[in-house]
Structure 1
């Protein structure tokens, strides 16, 4: 009787393990369509151009006082239109001069967009994400002394303008920390 019970338990264990392995192998296959290079270019085309920017930074736990700024941004295709190069320059009442460069592209292996940014404060966040409707939503974890926090950026077209929103989560949910409006020149 004891051997029969052990046999049943071992058999059930193997059946469960095989079932879990099959589910993992099929769930790992994306049901989303992989984007072609031309589809990627179509999705990102609204970001390409020369812009003047206006930035608003509402008061938040990270920023006790509102801030505003103005600047310029140039976003252009590079490497056979496989990536976007971002050159953003601004001056604002919170950080003073703020310059950043970035590379935005599509990772076909992982079916997601990637963004690497570098700024004059020495930060170098790398974001990953995808489009939800017409909005490109990307996320990362920002390291800071003592603790890190989650950051989400949203890019979308708003009439003739391009909007960028930055939301930070310091452990109490995402809150808007920056909104930039870019208008073509």
Structure 2
């Protein structure tokens, strides 16, 4: 089983990617999925075939189904999310939207997904409630969320240097090691 770590940011080498790699290095038997290295196509440009036959999704060859399968097989999943305009980035919403086709007519898979505990690390200076609401649908139990406001660590999140602050690193490690 193990742990799945997902960075939803499209920025290669940015804060989310670095946080994901730190979490992965802190966890045995983990796998890291980084949206900066792949694309999940948004719903659309199709006839919504997935609602009658999930395997007919014209975008099923992208990473969505493999990502959902990996999370279902995990004991725990970490979601690393940047704040864009007070909400999770578009990749998170695309991932969430596309999951409806994957789970359509397969309640056993949805149940297995929702049973996997989720933890989130959010790089955000504002609007925590929007993230709590967006993540509430990812598991039966409310996800445990660590908010990392870059300004509290004396950093600007756009620069991608959050992990140059020792306190930020220790806060992430403490979050990972928390039972």
- TM-score of the superposition, structure 1-length normalised? 0.28
**Structure with greater Cα Rg:** 1
- The structure that is strand-richer by fraction is 1
